[in-house]
Structure 1
Amino acid sequence: MIKFPLKEGKKWDAHEKVKFKIASLKATVQIPAGMFSSCIKVTSRAGVVYYYAPGAGIVKQRSQVRRNNRASESERCPLWESALKYLTKLLICLMLVEDTMYQWDLIFTMTDK
């Protein structure tokens, strides 16, 4: 989604209704996974702000929508969400392994008698 070469103030169109701008090349972003510096901040005319961290990709996405004279804001941390999904799957696998090992231990204990 980012157009090269990277330059603050650079604007481009993804298609006729979606327009982007590089607002900063040195943004600092704090998310639950930690602090990221030297992020690229990309804004869109639709009210979405993306923060790209070097080596990590999109670490934060903030949306500001205005409808019927009411503003609403939402925020996502794709990197943190991915990490949580991965850790959850890892924890489930570890629990299954531990349960399987416990069952094998029971089997061997019963056969030793």
Structure 2
Amino acid sequence: MKKIIGLAIIATFLNSPAFAGETFVFNQWTLRRNRTEDYDNVDITIYSNNNENYNFSTNKIEIERQGEESLNSFTVHHTGSYVKGSFYEDTRTRIWGTVNTVRNSFIRSQESSAGIR
């Protein structure tokens, strides 16, 4: 029994990582790589319409004299126009397909420490 206890005590001293007062250095690198793939199906339909009503008119009066000395000889020109209308547009837009997204990330880190125990 004394031999077993003695071996256990010796094994404890041999397996301890550092004794009091010793220096230590810790250095650890970590490398990580992540890859994510997404496949999304898209099916979108957009409906839109445009409705316009418009009207406008113009009038023009022009007086034309016949010579400079005669005030009674002239011609009157009168013109005009009128426009009225409407415009209607109905649109349907459809977008469909698959969107494939691949994301790659790489992480490299280092942790270092030193000291005396």
For Structure 1 versus Structure 2, the TM-score category normalised by the shorter chain is under 0.3
Give 1 or 2 for the bigger CA radius of gyration: 2
Higher helix share: 1
TM-score by length of 1: 0.20
Bigger relative CO (Cα 8 Å, ≥ 6 apart): 2
TM-score by length of 2: 0.20
Higher strand share: 2
